[in-house]
Structure 1
């Protein structure tokens, strides 16, 4: 599975740790930056990573900034992305099982390495409960909102 990873300067170090672990597990990582702890604007890395996921160039994304919310705000503006902020493994499991999220956002200033690694592990290994009608129905309703208010990349790029 190919994963788009992105961060700002506040999430750089945690992104590097998680990237190394995921590569060790056989995942292919595409790193959209930041590439150091020097001040970096979040949209400069999160937006291109989000576009890559929307185009199908990566199946999922893991974005890390100071608290996670900035990354989620940017990602959720892109059609086809369902970004969640998780601060514990329980939320990570439910975010996959119940919402079929495809982007995980973490706060490098909020959680430490050990809990972040566990969150990522749970989120990556948990499947959507696509056989439970209520979750399918709820995800479909969210998708219908996107259909109404967001534009597909194919509409923008043509």
Structure 2
């Protein structure tokens, strides 16, 4: 699977650990930066990584900032991206199985690397329960909201 990763300076170290885990598991990692811990703006990295997921250039994304919420706010502005902040493996499993998320957001300042790697593993190995109607109905409702309020990428003029 192709995984887009990005962070800001607060999430850089954890992003590097996540990359190593993903590569060890055989995934192709597309790193959108940053490439060091110098102060930077999160949106400069999460936005292009989110576009890669939305455009199908990456199957999923994992973004790391201080607490995860900044990444999720940016990512969820993009049509076709469904991002969740997860702080434990249970939430990561539910984010995939019940909500079909395609972006995982982590907080590098609030969870340690051991827990973060467990969260990544849980999220990466959990399938969406697409055969259970109550989950597909809920996900379909979220997609209808996106249809109503977000522009599709091919409708945006640069």
Aligned to 1:31: 31
1:84-120 deviation line (CA, Å, top 9, x unaligned): 0000000000000000000000000000000000000
Q: 2:122 aligned with 1:122, yes or no?
A: yes
Q: Distance in 2 between matches of 1:143 and 1:21?
A: 31
SS in 2 for 1:9: coil
Residue of structure 1 equivalent to 2:153: 153
Q: Which residue pairs with 1:11 in the alignment? A: 11
Query: How many residues are matched?
Result: 158
1:12-91 counterparts in 2 under 5 A?
12-91=12-91
The alignment status of 1:143 with 2:146, answered yes or no, reads no
* Structure richer in helix, relative to its length: 1
**Root-mean-square deviation (Å):** 0.8
Q: Tell me by how many angstroms 1:40 deviates.
A: 0.8
SS at match of 1:10: coil
- Segments of structure 1 that go 5 or more residues without pairing to the other structure are none
Deviating above 2 A after TM superposition, structure 1's stretches of 4 or more consecutive aligned residues are: none
Give the Å deviation of 1:61. 0.1
Q: Which residue of 1 aligns with 2:131?
A: 131
Deviation at 1:21, TM superposition (A): 1.1
TM-fit CA distance, 1:157: 4.2
Provide the secondary structure at the position in 2 that maps to 1:116.
helix
TM-score (structure 1 length as normaliser): 0.99
Matched, 1:102 2:102: yes
Counterpart secondary structure, 1:26: coil
Q: Give the Å deviation of 1:74.
A: 0.1
For 1:5-29, what per-residue CA distance to the aligned partner results, in whole angstroms no more than 9, with x for missing partners?
A: 0000000000001101110110000
SS in 2 for 1:99: coil
Q: Measure how far apart 1:34 and its partner are.
A: 1.0
Unaligned runs of at least 5 residues, structure 2: none
